Amino acid sequence: MTIRQLSEHMIDQIAAGEVVERPASVVKELVENALDAGARRISIVTAGGGKSLLRVSDDGCGIPAEELPLAVRRHCTSKLADSLHDIATLGFRGEALPSIGSVARLSIRSRPANAADAAEIRVENGVLQGPRPAALSQGTVVEVRDLFYSIPARLKFLKGERAESGAITDVVRRIALAFPAVRFELTGEDRTPTVYEAASDPLARIADVIGQDFADNALELDALREGVGLTGFAGLPNFNRGNALYQFFYVNGRPVRDKMLLSAMRGAYMDAMARDRHAVAALFLTIDPRDVDVNVHPAKADVRFRDPGLVRGLVVGAIRARLADGGLRSTTSGAEAMLAAFRPATTTQKLDFGSNAPHDRPEPRPTGYTPATSPFRPLGNTAHGLSSPGPMGGMPPLAPSARVGEQAAETTDETFPLGAARAQIDKAFIVAETSDSLVIVDQHAAHERLVYEALKTALHDRPLPAQMLLIPEIVDLPEADVDRLMDAAETLQRFGLCLERFGPGAIAVREVPAMLGQVDATQLVRDLADELAGSDTTDGLKARIDHVAATMACHGSVRSGRALRADEMNALLREMERTPGSGQCNHGRPTYIELRKVDIERLFGRR
């Protein structure tokens, strides 16, 4: 078999297989080019899911007519000098336009600000036509028609129009989040128009893209560690999704899907969210371009950090610190669900107190009735010898399961964040009143979280007790895994796991954490080795210990069905206010729901 030089057209088609996976890939490359050109208004038009038409228009700096032929030649770019270690633009390879031109019908019209006329070139089946004069104001218009028309086999692997349109929308959403000062418009006959107006406030753009509900339930992040900056917004633990599609990561403005950052998100919410739920976040990392390699993926979707441990620690630490410092906040979705559950009475409903509804018949008046003790006495009427009304304003006495006690009004203050306990419902829920809201607390979930946090503090503030094995367990592992475990041996020792090297390809387990009881030491070590290889962390062992603490907290906390005194309920509320993360239990469920008084008034038509 003879070795021969491939044609330029074949080389472009091979490159297109890496860069142009689907219509959304084309949109990504063209929009990034527009942003690198300094555009402030970008318009995207699609048809047929992007397979028949993609048009991207911008008001950027434009391309001079004499440089247009270079724009569609491989490895011709204005964004890269002589080094790959200082990349400050989204694109830099110079492969996108020639790759697109080799598999579609491509036309480019452009006019710089100081040019008298616009120019246009066309590329079809890899053949360049032009440049020639054209009509256009300042900026550039790139039009791609009949994607993969010259490679029918690739066309067959594309999904339906709706799926491809959805992928394009997702690409535009992710880019729009990172550039709030740019106006994006996405239209076409295959979609509903979407417009993201330019905004000076990043949170306004986040509300447009992700939703106002996220903006209402997010905590702002601003952290710096060893030259690496982190800004953005992370959702409250109770505001979560069933997948990770609502986690947006950016490195120097570049949208990325990085496994290490996904792992950092899981670690940050590890003990505040159920395992099958995912946080919502938009995180923006700023790092020296020399400390991150963006040239590891043809589509620039993945990056490689010089110090991944530093970046991971920054993300995990910043989110955890913000959740701890953010104070008590309940998600608005809980209150909205409660409001939706209420159904005001209508005039068509009749209250039947007849013989068919004996349970609704009023109780007979007791024989010892006196006006002074009547629960229905007039308010504030003391002129006729009636006693003054109690704190409940003349309402009937509460049932025993909902009674707080007379000392509640004397020992509590509505100015606390969670207010003053007013009642206990069904021996499971505490009803509290603040100055402007009504708070309902799940007593078991709340106390479970308090006990769990106390156990974690007691466990991790000092080395954990270890149980020595009578006969050390020998675990055979690849030499690379042994090296990684030995590098982490000091950290593992703090958690009660004592490891020693046993030859080049084995580990001797001499002690295991006493909290774990009977544990499969071999499987534990193998799991830790896999975790270190994948994410360079030992969170798996910490997670196991935290799981034991969570189980102990669940069984040692106040159970539903236990009647609490007023001082016990208020003590629980005060402890919740002092404990970080008390807004959700160990399983990710909310511990309390807050209903604003203005919402209650709205239910009764007062607003």
Higher-confidence residue of 164 and 383: namely: 164
Exposed e or buried b for every residue in 174-190, given b needs 16+ CB within 10 A? bbbbbbbebbbbbebeb
Top-confidence range, 133-137, 324-328, 358-362, 405-409: 133-137
- Check residue 285 and give its pLDDT: 93
Separation CA 593–CA 571 (nearest Å):
18
52 or 275: which leads in pLDDT: 52
Over residues 391-420, the mean pLDDT reads 52
Mean pLDDT for 233-250 is: 88
- The pLDDT assigned to 494 comes to 77
- Give the range among 41-55, 60-74, 193-207, 314-328 with minimum mean pLDDT: 314-328
Q: What are phi and psi of 133, to 5 degrees?
A: -65, 150
pLDDT at position 410 over 50: no
∠ CA(307), CA(312), CA(317), 5° rounding?
Answer: 130
Residue 567 has a pLDDT of 87
Joined tokens for residue 340: 């939706």
Lowest mean pLDDT among 199-203, 230-234, 298-302, 566-570: 298-302
| 512-536 confidence digits (pLDDT tens) | 887 667 778 888 888 888 877 766 6
User: Burial, 123: exposed, middle or buried (Cβ in 10 Å; 0-12, 13-18, 19+)?
Assistant: buried
Q: 44-48, 345-349, 377-381, 584-588: which range is least confident on average?
A: 377-381
Q: Is the pLDDT of residue 221 over 80?
A: yes
The answer to whether the CB of 475 falls within 8 A of the CB of 525 is yes
299 to 22, 31, 42, 49, 255: CA distances (angstroms) = 11, 13, 21, 20, 11
Determine the length of the chain. Answer: 607
Q: Please, what's the largest Cα pairwise distance for the chain?
A: 117
Q: Which has the higher per-residue pLDDT, 408 or 523?
A: 523
Q: Which of 210-224, 375-389, 438-452 has the least mean pLDDT?
A: 375-389
pLDDT band with cut points at 50, 70 and 90 for residue 128: confident
Most confident of 397-411, 531-545, 591-605: 591-605
For 211, residues 6+ apart whose C-beta sits below 8 A from its C-beta are none
And the tokens for 210? 């992700």
pTM: 0.68
**Cα–Cα distance between 10 and 574 in angstroms, integer?**
71
- How confident is the model over 15-38, as a mean pLDDT? 84
> 550, 452 in Cβ contact below 8 A?
yes
Q: Once rounded to an integer, what is the mean pLDDT over residues 295-310?
A: 77
pLDDT tens-place string over residues 95-122 = 788 888 888 899 999 999 888 889 999 9
For residue 508, list its beta bridge partners: 474, 500
The predicted-structure confidence for 545-577, as pLDDT tens digits, reads as follows 666 566 656 666 666 678 888 888 888 888 888
Name the nearest CA neighbour of 415 among 391, 435, 441. Answer: 435
Tell me which of 49 and 8 has the higher pLDDT. Answer: 49
Radius of gyration of the chain (CA): 32
The pLDDT-based confidence of 491 (bands split at 50, 70, 90) is confident
Per-residue pLDDT, 318: 92
Question: Is pLDDT at 175 greater than 90 in this prediction?
Answer: yes
Judge whether residue 348 has pLDDT over 50. no
Note the pLDDT tens digit of each residue in 78-100: 766 666 666 777 866 667 888 88
Q: Which of 152-156, 233-237, 487-491, 578-582 has the highest mean pLDDT?
A: 233-237
pLDDT of amino acid 490: 82
